[in-house]
């Protein structure tokens, strides 16, 4: 256990994700439990560069476990990617006598954190907070489960109207570089087709598959399209292609957009965030730095940042098979 650790700062960075507040709460309360001081940094790394800090205690984080978004606000900071900005951030941390930092965010945030650790030898532990689930070394990221539930609820509603009008709906879901949201929500919502960046189905095979579904007696169809999918230039262009190549369907497009990032976190995300927040403070007390807390086989693990940001595709091919079989 490190005796030099007295004050820990926490920030949220990148796109917000439901459960970030539960993670902040767990970090702050874990600090209180271990008689450490805690400080919130507003607007992610930008707040670090500008010195936008606030002392927190166990009561400052009351009634936030159930709230979406992040009470610390978040940003994608350009200044922090400049050496000058990082120097300012380090100076503010020293001024405030902060000994370590917990960063809740995605791969961009961990890349920034890793550069900072190498330059200033400052201890940082990361928690994976992104709805995309696109971080290596963890089975789940904070916010992913809630986003999936939001998407499934929305597609259930779209299915009602699709079915009533015998329509084909293309539904775009988030996931800039990864198809986790599309694949899992697509199976959960019973989509006929799921298009993800990791697997190029090709437009012609898509039309053939839709024709087969129609022949088998289906009167409406849902296609879930990950925003990172490359099959069409964009979802509207793909809708035009389907209109021109498939007879008998009225085609509509729904882009779910940022509703997927909001809302009260699911129980799973609250528990995951709480476990990760406690594990982050434990790791700092053990003298760890330059690592992310992950969950693997339902156990908390420590993963070097370098591993976490590798972008190893972790799409489960078995899920593609399940999607194919169950949508027949």
Report, in Å, the least distance between residue 293 CB and ligand F6P: 19
Report, in Å, the least distance between residue 325 CB and ligand F6P: 28
Toward ligand F6P, which CB reaches closer, 251 or 272? Answer: 272
Q: Which of 85, 109, 113, 132 binds ligand F6P (CB under 6 A)?
A: 132
132 catalytic per annotation: yes
Report, in Å, the least distance between residue 258 CB and ligand F6P: 6
Report, in Å, the least distance between residue 131 CB and ligand F6P: 5
With CB under 6 A as the contact rule, which of the stretches 31-39, 124-132, 186-194, 293-301 interacts with ligand F6P?
A: 124-132
Three-state helix/strand/coil letters over the chain? CCCCCCEEEEEECCCCCCCHHHHHHHHHHHHHHCCCEEEEECCHHHHHHHCCEEEECHHHHCCCCCCCCCCCCCCCCCHHHCHHHHHHHHHHHHHCCCCEEEEEECHHHHHHHHHHHHHHCCCEEEEEECCCCCCCCCCCCECHHHHHHHHHHHHHHHHHHHHHHCEEEEEEECCCCCCHHHHHHHHHCCCCEEEECCECCCHHHHHHHHHHHHHCCCCCEEEEEECCCCCCCCHHHHHHHHHHHCCCCEEEEEECHHHHHCCCCCHHHHHHHHHHHHHHHHHHHCCCCCEEEEEECCEEEEEEHHHHCCCCCCCCHHHHHHHHHHCC
Q: Which residues of 209-225 are buried (b: 16+ CB within 10 A; e: fewer)?
A: bbeebbeeebebbbbbb
Please report, as residue ranges, which positions from 17 to 56 form the binding site for ligand F6P (by CB under 6 A): none
Binding status of residue 104 toward ligand F6P by CB under 6 A: no
Binding status of residue 176 toward ligand F6P by CB under 6 A: yes
Toward ligand F6P, which CB reaches closer, 47 or 129? Answer: 129
With CB under 6 A as the contact rule, which of the stretches 81-89, 168-176, 186-194, 204-212 interacts with ligand F6P?
A: 168-176
- Of the candidates 138, 172, 161, the residue with the CA atom closest to the CA atom of residue 260: 172
Report, in Å, the least distance between residue 184 CB and ligand F6P: 14
Binding status of residue 107 toward ligand F6P by CB under 6 A: no
Binding status of residue 261 toward ligand F6P by CB under 6 A: yes
Toward ligand F6P, which CB reaches closer, 37 or 229? Answer: 229
Q: Which of 10, 13, 15, 206 binds ligand F6P (CB under 6 A)?
A: 15
Please report, as residue ranges, which positions from 203 to 242 form the binding site for ligand F6P (by CB under 6 A): 227
Toward ligand F6P, which CB reaches closer, 154 or 162? Answer: 154
Whole-Å CA distances, 325 to 184, 215, 220:
14, 17, 18
Catalytic residue of the set 99, 132, 269, 290: 132
Binding status of residue 137 toward ligand F6P by CB under 6 A: no
Residue 24's DSSP bridge partners are none
Binding status of residue 93 toward ligand F6P by CB under 6 A: no
Report, in Å, the least distance between residue 106 CB and ligand F6P: 6
Binding status of residue 130 toward ligand F6P by CB under 6 A: yes
The tokens for 34 are 């271990």
Binding site for ligand F6P (CB under 6 A): 15, 106, 130-132, 174-176, 227, 261
- The residues that are catalytic are 132
């Amino acid at each position: 256990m490190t005796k030099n650790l007295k004050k820990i700062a926490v920030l949220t960075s990148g796109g917000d994700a439901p459960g970030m507040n539960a993670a902040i709460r767990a970090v702050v309360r874990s600090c209180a439990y271990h008689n450490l001081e805690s400080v919130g940094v507003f607007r992610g790394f930008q707040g670090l560069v500008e010195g936008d800090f606030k002392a927190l205690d166990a009561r400052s984080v009351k009634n936030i476990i159930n709230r979406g978004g992040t009470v610390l606000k978040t940003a994608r900071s350009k200044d922090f990617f400049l050496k000058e900005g990082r120097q300012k951030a380090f100076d503010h941390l020293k001024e405030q006598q902060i000994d370590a930092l917990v960063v809740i965010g995605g791969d961009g945030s961990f890349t920034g954190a890793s550069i900072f650790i190498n330059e200033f030898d400052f201890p940082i532990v990361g928690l994976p907070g992104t709805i995309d689930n696109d971080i290596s070394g963890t089975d789940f990221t904070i916010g992913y489960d809630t986003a999936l539930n939001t998407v499934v609820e929305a597609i259930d509603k779209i299915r009602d109207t699709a079915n009533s009008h015998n329509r084909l709906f293309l539904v775009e879901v988030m996931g800039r570089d990864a198809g986790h949201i599309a694949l899992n929500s697509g199976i959960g919502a019973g989509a006929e087709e799921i298009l993800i960046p990791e697997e190029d189905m090709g437009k012609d095979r898509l039309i053939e598959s839709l024709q087969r579904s129609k022949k088998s007696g289906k009167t409406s169809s849902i296609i879930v399209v990950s925003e990172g999918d490359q099959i069409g230039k964009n979802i509207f262009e793909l809708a035009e292609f389907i209109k021109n190549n498939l007879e008998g369907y009225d085609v509509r497009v729904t882009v779910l957009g940022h509703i997927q990032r909001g809302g009260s976190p699911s129980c799973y995300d609250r528990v995951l965030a709480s476990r990760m927040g406690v594990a982050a403070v434990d790791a700092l007390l053990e003298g760890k730095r330059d690592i992310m807390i992950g969950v693997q086989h339902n156990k908390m693990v420590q993963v070097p940042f370098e591993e976490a940001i590798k972008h190893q595709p972790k799409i489960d091919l078995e899920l593609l098979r399940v999607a194919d079989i169950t949508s027949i």
